[in-house]
Amino acid sequence: MFGLKGDWSLDVKERYFTLDDYSGAVPRWCTGCGDHGILAAIHRVCRDAQITPEKTVAVSGIGCSSRLPHYMNTYGFHGLHGRAMPVACGVKSRRPDLDVWVATGDGDCFSIGAAHWIHAMRYNMDLTMLVFDNGIYGLTKKQTSPTTPLDVPTNTHPSGALLPPLNPLTVTLGITNISFVAQIVDWNAQLRHEVIKKAHEHKGTGFVRIIQRCPVYVESIGKGLQDEPTRMQLLTHEKGVQVDDSVKRLFPNHAEHDPTDLAAALTIAANDSILPLGILYHNPDAICYDQISSVGLEMSTDERLAGMNQALDHFAI
């Protein structure tokens, strides 16, 4: 019924949603999996924004990350491997009133769903797209993914991944009509929350690549980064994400980066020696396809009937 606003004043509403209102089944992810933290961040962003649960749809593909909709108490669509984006875009296309979230993974998005990733970025529908990138196929038990680092052993490449990993950021930044590209690690709650919040607030596709720990199959990837924060670089800017000093201390490398500067974003993303964290690119003015695809929704039955007869007239003899 009521809740506390950010400034501690009382906000009286007909319905006020707590974290519980967004929480579904008990997650079945492994202990120590980075997905737990991401889920918590999503719940919090939803709560803070007070989005209506029944007007919210969480869409996913297949994989560990794609179990996420089951852990939401909203509407959800746990579909096919690689195909979260077409479904999510379809949901949004004629229901711009719905708040759409997509949970996908490095295999789901960057491999089997790669075509959809590229085109969905270009459609730039108003939705939030979170890629849980743990650098491994988890659900199918440790096969090489497009982002598995070179030489990391997997069940399909026991002597180590054969090729250098795909760089999802340079690919994404190379797509026309993108509007929001960010990168975070799952283990910093504040950065995680602030970036996901920004992605959600953004009008357009908020793409966030989340470096996510899989302690069961490739502990070394996440742990390596956690142990060596100097391998990462925090992007700071007044137009970027704002974090407090604790975060800045945790990630000692900082770089001032204007997220409206696409060329600079590409340069940063292409630098394989250091992992950028924060918002790489943000363009609030890119065309949103859902505004185009939702034309004609308000048409009345009479107008449709008249339109139908007009269409038939074109062929009358």
Partner 1 sequence: MSSSQVAGDTKYLFKRENTWWVKVAVPRQLRSTLGYDLRRSLRTHDIDVARKARWEAIKELRDKIEKSKAAHGAEAVEAGSKPVEKGNGSRQAARGAQTIDQHIVEIVSDSGEGAQKCGQILGLVSGKMGNGVWTVEIIPAEIQPPAREPQGASGIRVRMGSHYVTNMGNQADMVVAFNEQVLYSRISNGAYKEGTVVLLENMWAEDPEERIRNQYREALADFQARGLVVYELPLQKECLKLVNDPRKGKNMFVLGMLCRIYRRDIEKAKDEIAKIFKRKSEKVIKINHDLFDAGYAFARDNIDYEYEIPSTDDERLKSAIVVNGNTAAGLGVMAAGIDLVAMYPITPATSASHYLAEDFHLTGGFVHQAEDEIAAIGFAIGASYAGKTACTITSGPGIALKTEMIGLAVMAEIPLVIIDVQRGGPSTGLPTKVEQGDLLASLYGSPGDSPKVVIAAATISECFHFVIMARKLAESFRTPVLLLTDANLATGVQPIARPDVSDEWFAPPLDQSAWDEQVAPYDWDETSGLSERPIPGMRGGEYILTGLAHNRNSKIAYDTASNQEGADMRSRKLAALSATLKPPEVHGDPTGDLLIVGWGSTLGAIEEAVDLARAQGKKVSSLHLRFLSPLEPGLKDIFAGFKKVMTIELNYSDDPDAPLINEETRRYAQLALVLRAHTLLDIDCWSVVPGHPLSPHRIGSVIDARLEKLEGAE
Contact by Cβ (8 Å): 81, 143: no
Q: Is 73 in the site for partner 1 (CB under 8 A)?
A: yes
Among 33, 39, 110, 116, binds partner 1 (CB under 8 A): 116
8 Å CB contact between 113 and 87 = no
End-to-end CA distance of the chain: 63
Amino acid at 118: I
Q: Please, what is the minimum distance in Å from the beta carbon of residue 304 to partner 1? A: 5
Number of residues that bind partner 1 (CB under 8 A): 60
Helix axis angle, 114-123 relative to 84-94, nearest 10°? 30
| 80 binding partner 1? (CB under 8 A) | yes
The yes or no reply on residue 242 touching partner 1 (CB under 8 A) is: no
Closest contact distance (angstroms) between CB of 22 and partner 1 is 10
Minimum CB–partner distance for residue 21 and partner 1 (Å)? 10
287 in contact with partner 1 (CB under 8 A): no
CA distances from 72 to 18, 42, 75, 159, 185 (A): 13, 9, 8, 39, 21
Burial class (CB in 10 A: 0-12, 13-18, 19+), 229: middle
- Taking residues 82 to 111 in sequence order and writing x for each that binds partner 1 by CB under 8 A, - otherwise, the string is -x-xxxxxxxxxxx-xx-------------
Would you give the DSSP letter of residue 299? -
Site membership for partner 1, residue 10 (CB under 8 A):
no
Instruction: Write each residue from 29 to 68 as x if it is in contact with partner 1 (CB under 8 A), else as -, in one continuous string.
Output: ------------------------xxxxxxx---------
The H-or-E segment that residue 38 falls in is helix 35-49
* Closest CB 14 distance from partner 1, rounded Å: 12
Residues that bind partner 1 (CB under 8 A): 24-25, 53-59, 69-70, 72-80, 83, 85-95, 97-98, 115-116, 118-119, 293-299, 301-305, 307-312, 314-317
